[in-house]
Amino acid sequence: MNYLVIPLTLLAALMLDSVPLPAAVAQFRPDFATLLLIYWILATPRLVGIGSAWVVGVLQDVLGGGWLGLHALAKSAIAYITLRLQLQIQIFPPWQQMVIVLFLAYLDHAIVWLIHSAVEPTPLQRADFLRPLTSALFWPLVYLTATKLRQWAQLA
């Protein structure tokens, strides 16, 4: 029963990411799905991995009405890098992990933008730079909240 915490938090993150917001506010919205995916991979690498990231990405594509597989590829790449660097990332406190999360969030957006631009030219927008930055700024809050939830659920 405790293992339901992981998919429920990821679904809640996907819902937060798909809530419509005014354009002025939407460009600052953190990518909660990416943040929680990174957290769960770091905290429970045996339970959450590349396959989970792919499912989250497909769900994000379906909820966002985008191209099927676009976010799935980006999330899988993020998951792979996070898994490869998991032991190195875990030794840092959350405020230092923000730098790595910033890199991963920018990489996620860059993969999506590059594939989208290859098919139909798309100029970079302000949100392409601000969303990863606000995601990194939200990392300590997400980290602390998810850690309390993981302790409550008694997960690894």
Closest C-alpha among 12, 17, 15 to residue 28: 17
pLDDT digits (tens, 9 = 90+) for 27-42: 899 999 999 999 999 9
Mean pLDDT, rounded, of the chain: 93
Q: What is the mean pLDDT of residues 133-153?
A: 95
- In this structure, what token pair is assigned to residue 38? 């990174």
Neighbouring CB atoms inside 10 A of 52's CB total 20
Angle at the Cα of 36 from the Cα atoms of 32 and 42, rounded to 5 degrees = 150
Q: Is the pLDDT of residue 83 over 90?
A: yes
Tens-digit pLDDT profile for residues 98-120? 999 999 999 999 999 999 888 88
Length of the chain: 156
**Local structure of 56: helix, strand or coil:** helix
Give pLDDT, residue 2: 84
**Domain-wise residue ranges, the chain:** 2-17+30-150
**Which is nearest to 71 in space by CA: 54, 84, 83?**
54
Q: Can you give the pTM of this predicted structure?
A: 0.93
